[in-house]
Structure 1
């Protein structure tokens, strides 16, 4: 077998293994959610009479309607603002000759190494001092700041990959910095911006630690943050717990499947230019 054909076979087998490892746990959880309430699911066993009403029961029991509104508000507060700041900062660090830009990049790279857990205590006291504890802003503002290092580095990498001839042609045509950014660079940045939006949405929607520390009301947290309260009430009912978990992660799956074309385009764009 030739080297190219062997690599193709190995790649397909690896993808198949990853697909199985990813899909089987979800299928097991789905089969558990369809079992009769009060039973103890045992592995991957599809019920003869699936109880789809368990999802409606879990939806009402966890007050997912109110949690959905809270999660959407938090996502709308985090994702657009983060993308706006990251895109402008990434363009400035990549295309403008700013004094101290290298230092800023180093600081941002260091910010990527800081886990949320190490700053949660000082962050709690800072949020409380600002008077926004137990509000949506208590989650929105820290997430914007915590996402900035990755977001700026991500957008900076894209703008660095844009040929210098594009900027030179814009300057020859009389375009200023703002015109170049808005009319030329932004249209070229649609794939990485879309990919960044997907990542920020997934990270915000699935944010657990900040939601339970900075918000006492379980119904004003993110969907993932409310999973702990739901587990505390129905931890012994694996059927409802499985149904509630699927309802919580379902929006992230839908968003990723809907926008995966943009995400893959951004990755391929970076790979080709790299």
Structure 2
């Protein structure tokens, strides 16, 4: 089907409109982050980032977020790949009800479970630890990852597994040598999404670490906002600092991320 020049122009106009709509808030925050603080003459103030980093203590909160994200992403990746592989390629009794049980992790909101989890973890003496912040997010991420990778593994040709079996490869070898490399875009997409969700998680980190010693990046930004509510330049600089790791990760993996999203949409 041929597309006329008018339709092509209209498509570009619509895409440009959506791009402007999405980029305007980002550009506004970036420009605000380097604007003049209160009482200073107009100009470009890159020192806002240094002051925000020093006063807000973002080094410690970002470090806590890195540790939590590393725990969540690594555990969720291993568990979701294994569960997705089992549900996507194997047939066993009770697989369908068990898979629906996994899906409950996507259906139940965090707000409904975080407080009962807090009392359970407090009884076990695990509050104010990295595990208390990470493990609930691991459970949520495994639910999504299993759903995501099950569809990916089920869409792969059965001949791949049959050829591996003829070559003497067992289930684990077929998974690590054939299925995981073939599903690399989908797995990277899942990892990027899990990292972004974990990095931006606020409620679980707030409830599970009430002592404040393990304040993550979003909590650090909220605390910084409480100190500098009227200083918009420093607040914007702090927001850029907190968002920068996810932006960098997405820029490095955007090709695989987009490819994985397109493959998931086509299934």
For normalisation by structure 2, the TM-score amounts to 0.93
Deviation at 1:11, TM superposition (A): 3.5
* 1:103 and 2:90 correspond: no
Deviation at 1:6, TM superposition (A): 5.5
Residue 75 of structure 2, aligned match among 81, 88, 91: 81
Residue of structure 1 in register with 2:167 after alignment: 173
Q: Note if contact 1:92-1:98 (Cα within 8 Å) is conserved in structure 2.
A: no
CA deviations on 1:143-192 (whole Å, 9 max, x unpaired) are 10121211110111110011111111111222211221121111112111
* 1:185 and 2:179 correspond: yes
Unaligned runs of 5+ in 1: 41-46
Deviation at 1:267, TM superposition (A): 2.1
Question: Structure 1 CA distance, aligned partners of 2:139 and 2:14?
Answer: 37
203-212 or 216-225, larger mean C-alpha shift: 216-225
Would you say how many aligned residue pairs link Structure 1 and Structure 2? 266
Q: Note if contact 1:209-1:225 (Cα within 8 Å) is conserved in structure 2.
A: no
Q: After the TM superposition, which segments of 4 or more aligned residues of structure 1 sit over 4 Å from their partners? A: 2-7
Residue of structure 2 in register with 1:29 after alignment: 29
Residue of structure 2 in register with 1:221 after alignment: 215
Deviation at 1:217, TM superposition (A): 4.3
Question: Structure 1 CA distance, aligned partners of 2:260 and 2:120?
Answer: 36
Residue of structure 1 in register with 2:243 after alignment: 249
How do residues 231-242 of structure 1 correspond to structure 2 at under 5 angstroms?
231-242=225-236
CA deviations on 1:115-141 (whole Å, 9 max, x unpaired) are 111212112112212211011111111
For normalisation by structure 1, the TM-score amounts to 0.90
Residue of structure 1 in register with 2:157 after alignment: 163
Residue of structure 1 in register with 2:15 after alignment: 15
Deviation at 1:271, TM superposition (A): 4.2
How do residues 27-176 of structure 1 correspond to structure 2 at under 5 angstroms?
27-38=27-38, 48-176=42-170
* 1:259 and 2:248 correspond: no
Q: For the structure 1 residues 80 and 7, does the alpha-carbon distance in structure 2 shift closer, same or farther, using more than 3 Å as the test?
A: farther
Q: For the structure 1 residues 151 and 5, does the alpha-carbon distance in structure 2 shift closer, same or farther, using more than 3 Å as the test?
A: farther
Question: Structure 2 CA distance, aligned partners of 1:176 and 1:35?
Answer: 60
Question: Structure 2 CA distance, aligned partners of 1:23 and 1:125?
Answer: 42
Unaligned runs of 5+ in 2: none
CA deviations on 1:90-111 (whole Å, 9 max, x unpaired) are 0001111121111122222332
CA deviations on 1:233-256 (whole Å, 9 max, x unpaired) are 111221211111111111111111
Question: Structure 1 CA distance, aligned partners of 2:223 and 2:211?
Answer: 10
Question: Structure 1 CA distance, aligned partners of 2:148 and 2:4?
Answer: 32
Question: Structure 1 CA distance, aligned partners of 2:130 and 2:58?
Answer: 17
- Cα RMSD, aligned residues only: 1.9
Residue 203 of structure 1, aligned match among 186, 197, 203: 197
Q: For the structure 1 residues 264 and 220, does the alpha-carbon distance in structure 2 shift closer, same or farther, using more than 3 Å as the test?
A: same
